[in-house]
Amino acid sequence: MITLADLRKQVREIILDTLQISEDENPEELSADTVKQWDSLGHIRLVSQLEERLSLSIPQSQIPDLWHEDAIVDAAARLLNIKDR
């Protein structure tokens, strides 16, 4: 069973990999405001990778709200039914 800490780590890795963020430019906070590569196309690629790598389906109505690492973790935790928040 995946824990919330594991999920948070996986989400961060997916964001870094998908948006090709190097360790040198790895900001403490990952969001569309802090990562220049996180534009609309990057967002679509990120959602696709999240769905594929976490084996989940993100409802289209939630996609516009996923512009911050914490929002992604919260949404994924709900979709994966992870309770230890």
45 is a domain residue:
yes
Which one-letter amino acid corresponds to residue 78? R
85 is a domain residue:
no
Instruction: Report DSSP state, residue 67.
Output: -
65 is a domain residue:
yes
How many domains does one find in the chain?
Answer: 1
User: What confidence score (pLDDT) does residue 1 get?
Assistant: 77
62 is a domain residue:
yes
70 is a domain residue:
yes
Pick left, alpha or beta for residue 26 (phi over 0 → left; psi -120 to 50 → alpha; otherwise beta).
Answer: beta
pTM: 0.92
Residue at token pair 């969001």: 31
| Residues in the chain, pLDDT under 50 | 85
Largest distance between two CA atoms of the chain = 34
Q: What distance in Å separates the CA atoms of residue 28 and residue 75, rounded to the nearest whole number? A: 20
Q: Say how far residue 79 (Cα) sits from the centre of its chain.
A: 13
30 is a domain residue:
yes
